[in-house]
Amino acid sequence: MDDYYKSRDEINLAKIRSICGELPYYVREFIIGIQLRTSTLTRLNYVYDLRIFFDYLTKNVFTNKKINQIELSDLETLHAFDIELYLDYLSSYEFNGKKYQCGERAKERKLCSLRSFFKYFFNKDRLSSNICTKVDLPKKHEKPIIRLETDEVVKLLDRVDSTNLTDISKRENAYHDITRVRDCAILTLFLGTGIRISELVGLNQEDFDFSQGCFNVTRKGGSKSVLYFTDEIASALLSYCAWQQDQIDSKTPFGNKIASQNAMFYSMQGKRISVRAVENLVKKYAQAVTPLKKITPHKLRSTFGTELYRNTQDIYAVAAVLGHKDINTTRRHYAATSEDIKRRASKSVKLRDTD
């Protein structure tokens, strides 16, 4: 595994251990028990959710106990209605002095975390039942899938590739001139391959084979996959690589910082670019060309997936390229596109020749 992913896992593990130290001892047992079939990020989300749950219990159920004093035997006294009350509490609650609100998707995730937690100890005969299975998952309302249309993609790439933007300040233009080639490579790679933001941030130069037009990507969960790119994407990436090399050869401060590193994309501070930085640059360019759409890196992924499905009409191919383990995930995201295809197909059938 690449250094980036090792470092990310080490940070997640440190957070997990720290939070588990605040929780009952058996939470740590649960986390260790599921480590062989879950990623560090999944386990970190579990402990975040469990911390909220146990905080709720001390405030509303076991008010005479501290969090780390709650025993498994105490959980045996809970009923399904207690879990339903907890989900209601999540609609508006306070934690560590801050107020939070959970929508239907956040509630679903937190309930799924509890289901896994109770299931683990039920299977170990440490709890007599998994009361969470008696609680229905919140009904989710499908959100409209936001993506860029073809003309909007052109406008987005034209803007990032422009050398003189008239609607921003001279200072912003100067910064844009420095980051333009990098940003163009990032947006082109997003729109041309549909990779996730975490996958893009973790890319190294050695992952790319320009002679074959492909690159290695580390998927969610740590699996490796090979993706292919077009000549247009190759041109954008090679332009960025050439700019990097020019910085190194010229011994600029930026070039000196990246000379001994192997990341594909860097911040202007000479460090591997962060998820937040990529989110911000996508937002910056997208707001200028599509101010009514909230475009994120994931929306660029949806844009690619939609175009791929329209061109191939092969849901399995789309799932493979996007790295979806469950084909139903792909169907759910591109159902609207499927309806478009079926509608066009129905109009192509003529029962009588009216000519």
CATH value at residue 316: 1.10.443.10
Neighbours of 325 (CB within 10 A): 11
192, part of any domain: yes
Residue 343 has, within 13 A of its CA and on its CB side, a CA count of 7
Q: Determine the Cα angle at 18 with ends 16 and 23, to 5°.
A: 85
| Residue 1 confidence (pLDDT) | 46
Domain annotation covers residue 351: no
The answer as to whether 293 is a domain residue is yes
Last residue of a domain, one of 84, 108, 134: 134
Q: Which amino acid is at 247?
A: Q
Same domain, 102 and 160: no
Q: Tell me how many domains the chain contains.
A: 2
Domain that holds residue 228: 150-346
Do 208 and 101 lie in a common domain? no
| 139 within a domain of the structure (yes/no) | no
> Domain check: are 159 and 105 in the same one?
no
pLDDT for the residue numbered 315: 81
- 3-state SS class at 93: strand
The one-letter amino acid at 44 = L
Q: Among 134, 159, 187, give the residue marking a domain's end.
A: 134
Q: Are residues 97 and 157 in the same domain?
A: no
Same domain assignment for residues 305 and 215 = yes
Indicate the SS3 state at residue 135.
coil
What pTM, to 2 d.p., does this model score? Answer: 0.80
Return the structure tokens found at 219.
Answer: 């998927």
DSSP 257-273: HHTT--BSSB-TTSSBP
H-helix or E-strand spanning residue 95:
strand 93-95
Q: In this structure, are 172 and 84 located in the same domain?
A: no
Residue matched to tokens 């509890």: 114
Instruction: Give pLDDT, residue 213.
Output: 94
Residue the block writes with tokens 């929306």: 299
Question: 65 in a domain, yes or no?
Answer: yes
Six token digits for residue 283: 């937002």
Examine the domain organization and report whether 198 and 119 are in the same domain: no
Number of residues assigned to the chain = 355
Counting runs of H as helices and runs of E as strands, what totals does the chain give? 16, 5
For residue 140, tell me if it sits in a domain: no
User: Which contacts (CB < 8 Å, 24+ apart) does range 159-164 have?
Assistant: 159/285, 159/288, 159/289, 160/184, 160/187, 160/285
Domain termination residue (choose one: 110, 134, 158): 134
Q: Are residues 180 and 250 in the same domain?
A: yes
- The residue to which tokens 């994120």 are assigned: 296
Residue 81 and residue 210 share a domain: no
Q: Are residues 94 and 196 in the same domain?
A: no
Phi and psi angles of residue 201, each rounded to the nearest 5 degrees, phi first: -60, -35
Q: Same structural domain for residues 179 and 73? A: no
| pLDDT (tens place) for every residue of the chain, 355 residues total | 458 888 999 999 999 999 999 999 999 999 999 999 999 999 999 999 999 999 999 999 999 999 999 999 999 999 999 999 999 999 999 999 999 999 999 999 999 999 999 999 999 999 999 999 999 988 776 677 788 988 999 999 999 999 888 888 999 999 999 999 999 999 999 999 999 999 999 999 999 999 999 999 998 877 889 999 999 999 999 999 999 999 999 999 999 999 989 999 999 999 999 999 999 999 999 999 999 999 999 999 888 888 888 888 788 888 888 887 777 777 766 655 555 555 555 565 555 665 5
126 and 260 housed in the same domain:
no
Q: Residue 355: inside a domain, yes or no?
A: no
Report whether 5 contacts 37 (CB < 8 A). no
Q: Is there a domain that residue 194 lies in? A: yes
CB atoms < 10 A from the CB of 192, how many?
20
Please state, in angstroms and rounded to a whole number, the distance separating the CA atoms of residues 87 and 137: 10
Q: Report the alpha-carbon distance of residue 100 to residue 206 in Å, rounded.
A: 42
